Amino acid sequence: MLGPHTDMPHRIISIVFYLPESDQTTLPGTSIYEPRDATFECPGGPHHGFENFRKLATIRFKPNTAFAFFKTPKAFHGVEPWAEPEFARDTMQYEVHDADRAFYYWPNR
């Protein structure tokens, strides 16, 4: 489970590739949310509670599927909780980021 969030501030584009073991899974992909308060924005980082958001769509967790998005203060996405404790949600992520902005947030790395 990942509550609605907008990703880290240094990211520009994120692509999540889904790697399920079969196409029979009914487990969650990535959902897109909008805040109930239309003025709410987040610069990035924290995960928020689901209760303050409306789910707009879910990208199904299927083979040969990817979810890509630009990082903005309104690009909220997350993963709904699932009931199968043994399930491993295998993904691979690729990101384009701004190294200068990353240094600003993590100067000691």
pLDDT digits (tens, 9 = 90+) for 34-68: 999 999 999 888 999 999 999 999 998 898 899 99
* Phi, psi for residue 53 in degrees, rounded to 5: -135, 155
- Number of structural domains, the chain? 1
Q: Which tokens is 91 given?
A: 């993904």
Residue 23's pLDDT is: 80
* Burial tier of 95 (Cβ tally within 10 Å: 0-12, 13-18, 19+): middle
Give residue 50's domain range.
2-105
Confidence of residue 17 (pLDDT cuts 50, 70, 90): very high
pTM, 2 dp: 0.83
Arithmetic mean of pLDDT, 68-79: 93
Cα radius of gyration (the chain): 15
